[in-house]
A and B are shown apart, each in its own frame.
Chain A
């Protein structure tokens, strides 16, 4: 009896991520959500530039690879072309919160009926560990060798908090994949985001606090600890906006 199978929405390709990186978990959660909603044949994904640039090899659905930061605009085109398709982007922090800030904010403002999976590991992974828009104050990276000096590099971007005030956003939740409990919560959030799209509820973004053992210079286990001790206090977990829950409450 098989009790644990690979989701059908993942291909057989071997993931290109470093050992201990949590991208693999997040890929799986996205794929499980697609499987559970029975939408694999109608889903189109948009891969970013960054560590997950090769996501088009891993998700077993039609995929496009977008320019750095432009995934929400590409997703907008796809969704506007055929609203019956389920369209998601999978983006990292540099892609979404630095070079693609305008595309992110305006896709939310338009209430585009898409899902954005935002993987925040506070660093540029693919280029080898540079300062990200979400790197923590004092965090040492290749381009902040003395630690992030907020007087020089400014403060980290808190994306859920930023989008909270955008009327068009329907659902915003920040989750983490550092332990089983949080992974279960992450699963629910990602499933809800896709379900929102199926139900035509509009822009859903799930921010996933993730690790980068390679560029953080920590073991996979210590990375999970670092995430819990440093990232979660700066980026509190929880639902930042749920337009439809608010409506139901106000009834």
Chain B
């Protein structure tokens, strides 16, 4: 069953969602993720699903809220400026404890920015999108195969913890073609007794709501939610380690920059510098323990990002600033080369020496 097909990242996400039992997609055209919508518009009618192009990003996320409230799997996708618009809805999803899958195929910003790949929505993804106290699960695939696997798993996690899963990729990942296996196994069914399905006059009405006018009640809800988030932090951290056993320089990179960084690690080792890499797969929950452990052994870290430096702050927090953390950064749609990373590895090797 390991037959592989050649797929574009964006299309792989869409097909994986359908395999995961998602039959409702709402979106709005924006580069570089429009292939997801286009794919869904072709596929959904064939599998008895609903594809609807909404009048706005805001409407799309609210349609997601409507479907999720009825207990069904649902998704939307967008790119950076569109996720800003969806932020209100992301907050309501959290406040209502509704599961959903949201995809951000990032482009450069701020403002209209550009349409080339970036990772500059890291803060938005792990911290900022939406008002209030809440978290969302953020998954960062580094291959088309992983886009399939994390989309499939993302729905399970969303249902299990009643929260949003955000797939954070970038224009390169979305447009890249790779052979993938679509054999994902069975879909996990989740009991959703809270869903709005009509009372049939046989039960009390279900209410999906984020309004708590009594501050005591709102605090209680927030604390309960954070107990759930705690479980996510305990159980769902995912990361990959590459040549970390004897590493003296630890690269930290996710998504497309992790691919570039892997090459740089190999070249550095040929040059006699013991580099390794920790690649967070979950950006939230962040692999703090793995980084802290690495900090005991390595001389320095290098955070490799397609941004002006965002994840670097989480790296510094995770290791409690015990070791120097350098930034290897390209921004605005520019892509890091292995040479850029190699130069930073050498710099880290000298200052960490």
Contact = CB atoms under 8 A, between A and B. Distances in A.
Interface of A: 11, 40-44, 46, 53-54, 56-57, 59-67, 70, 73-82, 85, 102-103, 105-106, 109
Nearest to A56: B207
Given A62-B196, A66-B92, 4 more contacts: A41-B199, A73-B63, A85-B198, A105-B55
B62 A62 contact: no
11 contacts: A60-B205, A62-B206, A63-B207, A64-B65, A65-B211, A77-B64, A78-B67, A78-B196, A102-B55, A102-B58, A103-B55
A140 B50 CA distance: 46
Contacts of A74: 62-63, 65-66, 69
B146 to A, nearest CB: 29
B197 interface: yes
Nearest to B206: A62
* Interface band, chain B: 35 or more
Given A64-B196, A65-B208, A67-B89, A103 B62 contact: yes
B121 to A, nearest CB: 22
Interface of B: 24, 26, 50, 52, 54-56, 58-60, 62-70, 72, 74, 88-89, 92, 96, 196-202, 205-211
For the residues of A in contact with B, the DSSP-based class is helix
Which 4 pairs from chain A and chain B are nearest by CB? Answer: A77-B66, A73-B62, A106-B55, A77-B63
B59 A82 contact: no
B201 A44 contact: no
A80 B63 contact: yes
Contact of A63 (B54, B62, B63, B208): B208
Interface centre among B67, B70, B200, B206 (most CB of A within 10 A): B70
A129 to B, nearest CB: 19
A44 B209 contact: no
Contacts of B55: 102-103, 105-106, 109
Contacts of A80: 24, 50, 52, 63, 66-67
Given A67-B88, A70-B58, A70-B59, A77 B209 contact: no
A77 B196 contact: no
A76 B211 contact: no
A65 B197 contact: no
B62 A67 contact: yes
Nearest to B64: A77
B319 to A, nearest CB: 39
Contacts of A57: 207
B74 A77 contact: yes
A138 B273 CA distance: 77
